[in-house]
Structure 1
């Protein structure tokens, strides 16, 4: 049985069990395992695991299941792990930890660290990066927040030079980014509600490339603007759309702009009081990409 068949068999088995009237009790622990990939080659997907602890119990009996953590507006601490094995030649692993502390007056501060390691076999290339970030925000009502963030990352990538055993081309990329964003959930009288989010981000890149007989440096900036809306038709089901535009200043090709947008839908299937199955589909429309991105997962709350 291949990886795709095994994944589908596990989730079909879980969701085919008898589903009874579940109780939406409060929770403080949330753990989730997800498999995600493209329909073009679903076997070359990634396994993702995450856990989050909320300092005070989170209520989920009236809000959309996917938004209960955000709407709780409480301090939390979490960790994530992801592993991608593509076509048996590329191994990509990331892990991250993050936390958010919410003050009594609804100001909050968040911190995050992420490490990523990428390797292409047989020993032709490898890359490692470390990223750090901090967020300062304010919950200005029961369903909305505004925030600013700042982040730095360091990445080193080595490529084996063609037809050489010992020589490598090394690229060092240092990135500094800061932005401002807003996230707001608008309840609707006719149903659940709509989640709006927007973010403006500015990044600057410092690049150093070295090889056996060369060394050069350059810097490039970029500005990115994104906006998304997700309509929660029920507490379990949502449909949404996202638009993003990026402005680049390239030292060689001059200024450029890239627009992208996609549509998506997500569903949470409650199985027991503490267990749910999660499904997500998204389609990138611009730039046009073949296939549909899909994710299936199991979520536990207790």
Structure 2
């Protein structure tokens, strides 16, 4: 299957997702798949994200695009992205305490494929840690 046929098939398959979102159902899983075809010399970009919300995301009284942001609950996520020059792997998580304080951590691995390396490096691992506080939110 060519990339164009695959993109069209995926686009048609994903057209039912907005219908589900419009029903104001709660959800725990969020999946995103993206393709960027540069139609040039490069292979473009393929990106896949997955996020699990431990506290169900409710969309009924919030704008759909902001529902996950206002959820303020614990999450775990994974991501894979690739181009003709590098691959990215990411795993991260965030724990939210009852007091609205949160702590998160993640690890990113980059694999470079530019004649075997990128500036003398063939892979790189980056760790991150974050700490913060969610301000109480109310929508009226």
Interval containing the TM-score (normalised by the shorter chain): 0.7 to 0.9
Q: Which residue of 1 aligns with 2:52?
A: 53
**3-state secondary structure, aligned to 2:13:** helix
Unaligned runs of 5+ in 2: none
Distance 1:42 1:141 in 2: 49
Report the CA distance between 1:101 and its aligned residue: 0.7
Distance 2:15 2:65 in 1: 22
Distance 2:77 2:49 in 1: 7
Report the CA distance between 1:64 and its aligned residue: 2.6
Distance 2:117 2:79 in 1: 28
Kindly indicate which of the two structures has a greater share of residues assigned to strand. Answer: 1
Report the CA distance between 1:6 and its aligned residue: 2.2
Q: 1:105 to 1:14 in 2, by over 3 A?
A: same
Corresponding residue pairs, total: 136
Q: Which residue of 1 aligns with 2:36?
A: 36
**1:114 aligns with one of 105, 108, 113:** 108
Report the CA distance between 1:30 and its aligned residue: 1.6
**1:100 aligns with one of 84, 88, 94:** 94
Distance 1:124 1:16 in 2: 39
Q: Which residue of 2 aligns with 1:133?
A: 128
**3-state secondary structure, aligned to 2:73:** coil
Distance 1:117 1:7 in 2: 25
Distance 1:134 1:16 in 2: 36
Q: 1:130 to 1:60 in 2, by over 3 A?
A: same
Q: Which residue of 1 aligns with 2:64?
A: 65
- Greater C-alpha Rg: 1
Distance 2:108 2:26 in 1: 29
**3-state secondary structure, aligned to 2:83:** strand
Distance 1:16 1:137 in 2: 36
Distance 1:58 1:12 in 2: 25
1:85-127 superposed Cα distances (whole Å, 9 cap, x missing partner): 2xxxx4x111111111111111111111100001124x47552
**3-state secondary structure, aligned to 1:70:** helix
Distance 1:93 1:66 in 2: 28
Q: Which residue of 2 aligns with 1:76?
A: 75
Distance 1:16 1:79 in 2: 23
1:23 paired with 2:17, answer no
**3-state secondary structure, aligned to 1:120:** coil
Q: Say what the alpha-carbon RMSD is for the aligned residues.
A: 2.9
Q: 1:116 to 1:9 in 2, by over 3 A?
A: same
Distance 1:103 1:42 in 2: 48
TM norm structure 1: 0.40
Q: 1:50 to 1:42 in 2, by over 3 A?
A: farther
TM norm structure 2: 0.79
